[in-house]
Amino acid sequence: MDGIMNKLRNLDAYPKINEDFYSRTLSGGVITLVSSVVMFFLFFSELRLYLHAVTETKLVVDTSRGETLRINFDVTFPALACSILSLDAMDISGEQHLDVRHDIIKKRLDAHGNVIESRQDGIGAPKIEKPLQRHGGRLEHNETYCGSCYGAEASDDDCCNSCEDVREAYRKKGWALSNPDLVDQCKREGFLQKIKDEEGEGCNIYGFLEVNKVAGNFHFAPGKSFQQSNVHVHDLLAFQKDSFNISHKINRLAFGDYFPGVVNPLDGVHWTQEQPSGMYQYFIKVVPTVYTDVSGHTIQSNQFSVTEHFKGAEINRLQSLPGVFFFYDLSPIKVTFTEQHVSFLHFLTNVCAIVGGVFTVSGILDSFIYHGQRAIKKKIEIGKYS
């Protein structure tokens, strides 16, 4: 048994030295203190990396097809009333969403930006329900009243019982409603008077759009939109104005859901119009993004970059449609962010490397200084050092 113990003792790679033979130096104490501080700092740096997830970034080709793109927006127009503002969206596939009303909320604002009224019925003036749907008394007619569409009827049975019905019928025909005062429904509802009453008001519009995942645009502009000879136009004659102030503030604009670290460059952007009228354009490059957290939950979203341009218009000559336009295109490259935790084994390996590395380097440095001092001291003692 003693022989086995002696053999094990001979395998000791860490031979012990009697304390009587220890030689402690000032330089050794300084090196020990500095190396301990360095070791402590590196250990906590490694611990921080272990406790927090790291994000791995990759670029891949976007092969997704048939998906939709969600556009979240919150825009304030301090000098454009809600009653004359419309929202349209269209893409290169030919799909159009004119005078969008669903999933949108608008707030009327006074000159100081305070909310006057908030409605969830979307963009445009609210429709007065048809008398055939139980509310004919409101239009001062009996329940069988069927208002004229002024030549825009799709069939003989069509009725236009409100100013909005007439405007919508004209839009579908691609006609402009040049003088609402000649329309009985608009005159009765005070369409032009309402526009005059809201003169000087602003509008805050927020909500979201679901569009095809292809290049396209959406825009905020005055007037009801329609197609005329395959050209997208807005009916501005009804408002009897030569210029429109499209100053705006983008409170929020995002293409997709939020994910940690996302930066939307247009959030909080404010632009003030100095010319009488014009078109403000944002050209956006959308980059598909996939974010996966440490639990494996995946968020399909997008990032984007943007450039801006303003196209002015001469007074009394609206060559271009006044409004705020967002033109977007999609990148073929997709960015993937993957959160990962450092394994405990990796953490333990790095800690051992830190302790061993610092200890070894400090030992080499201490040995170099110690033997250097001894060599110099010996030369001084024998008088060979000058």
Give the pLDDT of residue 103.
83
Whole-angstrom distance, CA of residue 244 vs CA of residue 210: 28
Residue 50 has a pLDDT of 83
Q: Are 105 and 190 in contact (CB under 8 A)?
A: no
**Nearest-angstrom CA–CA distance, 355 and 341:** 22
The Cβ of residue 119 has, within 10 Å, a number of other Cβ atoms equal to: 13
What distance in Å separates the CA atoms of residue 221 and residue 212, rounded to the nearest whole number? 21
Count CB-CB contacts under 10 A for residue 161: 25
Mean pLDDT (whole number) for 275-293: 92
Strands (E) across 4-103 are located at 54-61, 68-77, 85-91, 96-97
Residue 315 pLDDT > 60: no
pLDDT of residue 95: 84
The answer to whether the pTM exceeds 0.75 is no
The CA R_g of the chain, rounded to the nearest whole Å, is: 37
98-148 pLDDT, tens digit each: 767 778 889 989 888 888 876 654 444 343 344 433 333 444 444 466 888
> What pLDDT is attached to residue 131?
40
Mean pLDDT of the chain: 80
pLDDT number for residue 337:
94
Q: Give the pLDDT score at 295.
A: 84
CA quadruple 63, 65, 68, 71: dihedral sign: positive
In this structure, of 26-30, 131-135, 319-323, the range with the lowest mean pLDDT score is: 131-135
For residue 132, the model assigns a pLDDT of 38
Report which of residues 278 and 121 the model is more confident about. 278
Count of positions (residues) in the chain: 386
Of 138, 135, 163, nearest to 149 by C-alpha is 163
Task: Please give the pLDDT value at position 122.
Answer: 41
For the stretch 193-216, pLDDT in tens is 677 777 788 999 999 999 999 999
Averaged pLDDT, 63-68 = 84
Q: How many other C-beta atoms can be found within 10 angstroms of the C-beta atom of residue 89?
A: 19
pLDDT bin (cut points 50, 70, 90) of residue 16 is low
